[in-house]
Amino acid sequence: MDYGFATRAIHAGQEPDPETGSVIVPIYQTSTYAQSEVGVHKGYEYSRTDNPTRTALHACLAALEGGTYALAFASGLGATTTLMLMLKAGDHVIVGDDVYGGTYRLFQRVMTEFGLVFDFVDMANPDEVRAALRPETRMVWLETPTNPLVKLADIRAISALARQHGALTVVDNTFASPYGQQPLALGADIVLHSTTKYLGGHSDVVGGAIITSHEQAYERLKFLQNAAGAVPGAFDSWLVLRGVKTLAVRMREHERNAFEVARFLEQHPAVERVIYPGLPSHPQYELARQQMQCFGGMISLILCGGEAAGREMVRRTKLFTLAESLGGVESLIEMPAAMTHASVTGSKLEVPAGLVRLSVGIEDVADLLTDLKQALADAPTRAVGQEALVANHSEA
């Protein structure tokens, strides 16, 4: 039956246990499974290959992204590494010019050593993707919205271009979550998640996932998941499965709070620029409305006082904890250039030193606004800020 999103999040792959009636999928904390004769078993041999708790998570994640298959990994980067193992020396990958710093580091400082070739282009402009395609292009890799500049890519247009060329499109859907955006329905071949973020939702687990309906890609990835071994343990699989049950309600609250925070910041005299796909001021607002069902809780901003003011803001917030990561129920704040994206420094992907990133949680929004207000109380405002920005520039 074709259940709605919230129903699938709670039930897909999670029928009560036929033997005990357990309503919740048990944590099968075992590495191996008894065989009655050599090769005769109940579908499980060894937990790197398969584990029943992980199997339930696979079914649930596939149902949420509208895919046929899903595979869970020990981290988002574990999933990304496994996807790279589908390629061989000489293969070319087109990547967005704004991606998570760890993704860039893996591609540029690890995978190039194995002969893979990466081009980083502005995915906001499909013509740049078209111009970058080469005979040996095997994969187009995009984040939308991007981390940390919250730029969008037109999934439908780029997937169509890649498909014509015989290349696979991979969408890192971590920022939007499957509640906010369904890349497979828009033509993408593979969806990737850091389940550490909105899917887990409680900042208590590190994990990753790949979802696809592409049978050949799945067969290869399933083989590689076992062959390379970056699998999550049973308890971590269970934590993600539990987190996902409340994904729909959490995402609605993240979005509601993020809207209020974004509007508050947009009005604040100390704020130079706010980037949130739900704001009409976002340069790709129309695209956001077309391809996203929920704009999520990620906001980036630049203060009039530049980097110094940003550092002061993140030092002063109390409810917004200064920490890497995102997508949990609690609000976080960070400065990507010095933290999550330190590894893009000096590259084409370098992000503004003064950029501040908020992961808006689901606390009472009045408390979040009060916290931001006090953190910005002494920040340089527009007139003063112009001078500060000029000063920053001349230093560079």
3-state secondary structure of 125: coil
- To ligand P1T, the closest distance from the beta carbon of 127 in angstroms equals 24
- Any catalytic annotation for residue 348? no
Residue 296 makes contact with ligand P1T by CB under 6 A: no
The pair phi, psi for residue 86, each rounded to 5°, is: -75, -15
Residue 183 makes contact with ligand P1T by CB under 6 A: no
Q: Which stretch binds ligand P1T (CB under 6 A): 34-42, 153-161, 322-330, 370-378?
A: 322-330
* Residue 50 vs 324, nearer CB to ligand P1T: 324
* Residue 147 vs 225, nearer CB to ligand P1T: 147
Torsion over CA: 381, 387, 391, 396 (sign): positive
In the set 13, 52, 67, 76, which binds ligand P1T (CB under 6 A)?
A: 76
Residue 340 makes contact with ligand P1T by CB under 6 A: yes
Quote the CA–CA distance of 233 and 243 in Å, as a whole number. 16
- To ligand P1T, the closest distance from the beta carbon of 221 in angstroms equals 17
- To ligand P1T, the closest distance from the beta carbon of 199 in angstroms equals 10
Number of neighbours of residue 24 by Cβ within 10 angstroms: 13
- For helices 306-316 and 365-375, the axis angle rounded to 10 degrees is 130
The pair phi, psi for residue 218, each rounded to 5°, is: -60, -45
Residue 75 makes contact with ligand P1T by CB under 6 A: yes
- To ligand P1T, the closest distance from the beta carbon of 179 in angstroms equals 16
Kind of pairing between the strands at 298-303 and 356-359: antiparallel
Q: 201 to 240, contacts with ligand P1T by CB under 6 A?
A: 206, 208
- Any catalytic annotation for residue 222? no
Peptide bond into 148 cis (omega under 30): yes
Residue 293 makes contact with ligand P1T by CB under 6 A: no
- Any catalytic annotation for residue 130? no
Beta bridge partners of 69: 212
Q: Which stretch binds ligand P1T (CB under 6 A): 46-54, 217-225, 320-328, 376-384?
A: 320-328
Residue 100 makes contact with ligand P1T by CB under 6 A: yes
In the set 14, 55, 137, 147, which binds ligand P1T (CB under 6 A)?
A: 147
- Any catalytic annotation for residue 100? yes
- To ligand P1T, the closest distance from the beta carbon of 204 in angstroms equals 13
Asked if residues 92 and 137 have their Cβ atoms less than 8 Å apart, the reply is yes
Which amino acid, residue 216? Q
Q: Which residue is nearest to ligand P1T (CB)?
A: 76
Residue 196 makes contact with ligand P1T by CB under 6 A: yes
Quote the CA–CA distance of 40 and 198 in Å, as a whole number. 39
Quote the CA–CA distance of 271 and 161 in Å, as a whole number. 38
Residue 194 makes contact with ligand P1T by CB under 6 A: yes
Peptide bond into 145 cis (omega under 30): yes
Q: Which stretch binds ligand P1T (CB under 6 A): 45-53, 55-63, 74-82, 272-280?
A: 74-82
Asked if residues 176 and 296 have their Cβ atoms less than 8 Å apart, the reply is yes
Beta strands in 226-277 (DSSP E): 271-275
- To ligand P1T, the closest distance from the beta carbon of 38 in angstroms equals 38
For the chain, the farthest-separated pair of C-alpha atoms sits apart, in whole angstroms, at 79
The catalytic residue positions are 48, 100, 172, 197
Contact residues for ligand P1T, defined by CB under 6 A: 75-77, 100, 102-103, 143, 147, 172, 174, 194, 196, 206, 208, 324-326, 340
